[in-house]
Amino acid sequence: MGSLGDHAGGTGAGGGSVGGGGSGRGNTRVIAGRYRLEERLARGGMGVVWRATDHLLGRQVAVKELALDETLSESEAAQQRELTLREARAVAQLRHPHIIVVHDVVVQDEHPYVVMELIEGGSLAGRIARSGPLDAHAVARIGIDLLGALRTAHASGILHRDLKPANVLLETATDRVVLTDFGIAQVTGATTLTEVGSFVGSPEYTAPERMAGERTGPESDLWSLGALLVTALAGESPFRRDSIGGVLHAVIYEELRPPPAAAPLLPVVLGLLDRDPERRLDAAEAERLLRAYVETGRMPVVTRERPGRGGRAGLSGLPGLSGLPGLHGRPGRGGHTPTRHHPSTGPRTPAGGHPHIEPAGHPHAKPGGQGRAVLIAAALVAAVTGAGVSAVLLLARGGDGGGTPGTPGTSASVPPPSPSPTVSVTTKTPGPSTPEAPRGYRIAKDPEGFALAVPEGFRRRTDGPRVSYVSPGGTYRIGIKKSAPEPGGPLAAQRRAAAEGPRDNPGYRDGRVSETTRNGRPAALREFTWNGFDDAEGARRTVDLCWEEGGRMYSVWVSAPVAYAAQARRYFDAAVDTFVRR
C-alpha cells in the first residue's frame, strides 16, 4: 500500500524516499496556483512524486500526486484518497527533526496532492541494496534517531505502523535520518482502514499482535524497529522467507536466531523482538542502551528481569538465543523451521475445496485444545499479498498443554485487492487449458502458445524469442521465453546464464541459482540484482524460474527496481502459478 514513502529517492535504488536527484520527465503544471511540478522523482503504488517549486515562498519541495485507479469503485477511490489525506493530517501534527515535514495538502480536479519537504538523498533500503549492511555504530545512531521520532509520534497518539528501511530517508549532505510514510498511521480515535477490511503494513516488519488482529500500540512500532535494526546490520530482514506464508510462520512461530552481525546490538534486538508486547523493550530503555553503545563501543550488560506473563525470563535470558518466547507468553512451538522452496511447488487444494494456510512445521496439527484460536490470514494474506483466495491461519493460545496450531477445514473469504499465491497458501488449481485470473489480473492468452495471469494494465511486448508483459511506466516486467531443451536441463541452463550474467546485465551481483521443481518437474530458480536501465530508476532485482515441459524449455521471470522487489515477487508467484501451455 503506497503513501508518502513508496517511491525511490535520488539514487533510485530504494523505495520510501521523498528525495531529489532523479532524472524523470519534466512537467509544466501548476497546482493550487503556486506549486510548479518540474521533474518526476519517482513513482509508486499510489502516485508520482515530483520535484516542484513553491513560487509563493520560493523554495523547492516534493509533491506527491495521488494516482487515479479507474478500476476502483467510487467508494474505493474515496477510500484511497482518504488514506493520503489522513497521512498528511497525521504527519502535519508532528514536529521532530527526524520526521518528514508536510507543508501543505491541496485537492485539484479531485486529485489530492501532498506537499512535503524535499530530502536530497535515498532511503535506508537503497543504501543497503547498494552498499550492503551498515556497521553497528551507524545502525545504533539510526536507531536512536528513529526512537526519538517514534516517541514524538506516540506522544501525540500516532502510530506509524509501517516502519521499515524503505521508509527511512538518509539526507546526503547531513546524514540526517528522516522517518516518512505515515500513510497507514493510526491517529488515536480515528477509524482505520483495517476496520473496513484491509490489512496495512509490511509482513516482515509487522508485530505478531498486529497479525493476530489485536489492539496494538507503540510496542508494535518498536517490534518493527527491532526487525529494521537486524536488516541494517545483516542486509536482510530476519523474517524474510520465500512466501508470505513463510513470513507469517517466521514472525509468529519460529525461534529467532539473530545473525552474527547483530551481536553488537543483541540486547536491544532481542528486547525489541520479544513476542509479548507487555515484555517488549520500551523506547526509553532501547535508546539508553543504544546511546551507551555509541558512546563507549560496548553494549551495557542487561541483568534485570522484566515482568511478564507466566514468570518468563526477561532480558537476563539473552544467552538462550534459541528460546525466544512465543506469542502471548507461550513457548516457541518446537522450534520447527519450514522448508524453503519455490512458491510454485506448494501443495494444492483439492478441486472444489477451500484454500487454507497451515503453519509450516506443523503438518499434522490436530483440532481441539483449550483457549481461543486467533483467525489471522483470511484478511492478512488476502490484503497484504493480494491472494485471490480464502485463507486461514489459526494460532492456538490454550492453557497448559492446550492449544495447537491451526487445522484445515476452516476458512474465511475476504475479497482482496491483488493476488499472490505462495508455498503456504494453497490455491485452487484450474484445468490446464483454463487458468483462472485472480482479482486484479487477467489471463493473457499469448500467440506463442501459453497463457498466464498478468496484472490488469500490463501490455505485451516482444524482443526476439522473449515475450514481456510490462506495467505502465515499465516498473514491473514479466518475461516469458520458450526454447528448445538445453544440455543438462534447467539447472545447467540457469548456471550458464548466471555465468554470463555480468555480460548481459551491467552491475550483475547477488546472483544465486537453486534447484527446485514445478508441478513435479525439475526446475531451477535464478535470482540476481543488476544496475537497471537508468540511474534514476536504480538497481533492479530479477527472479527467473526455468523448467522443461512438453518437449520445450520455459523460462518465466519478473524484474523490478529493488525497492519494489516484494510486489514483483507476488507478480512472479501469480505468473508461475497460473502458467499453462495452450
Annotated catalytic sites, by residue? 162
- Measure the CA dihedral 269/164/206/570, to 10°: -130
* Grid cell for residue 392: 486461514
H/E stretch holding 570 reads: helix 565-578
What whole-number distance in Å separates Cα of residue 236 and Cα of residue 232? 7
DSSP-assigned states of every residue in 17-58: --B------B---EETTTEEEEEEEEEETTEEEEEEEETTTT
Return d(Cα 330, Cα 162) in angstroms, integer. Answer: 26
Which strands, in side-by-side order, build the sheet including 580-581?
A: 441-446, 450-455, 580-581
Please report, as a single letter, which amino acid is at residue 280: R
Match 512445521 to its residue by C-alpha cell.
361
Cell of 130: 547498494
Cell numbers 506463442 correspond to what residue? 448
- What's the distance, CA 111 to chain centroid? 27
Looking only at the bridges linking them, the beta strands covering 373-375 and 394-396 are: antiparallel
Give the three-class secondary structure for 275: coil
Distance of CA 226 to CAs 146, 248, 267, Å?
A: 11, 17, 10
Please report how the helices 218-234 and 136-155 are oriented relative to each other, as an axis angle in degrees rounded to 10.
Answer: 160
CA proximity to 242, closest of 430, 425, 422:
422
52 beta partners:
37, 61
User: CB–CB of 262/269 below 8 Å?
Assistant: yes
Q: Do 193 and 78 meet the contact criterion of CB atoms below 8 Å apart?
A: no
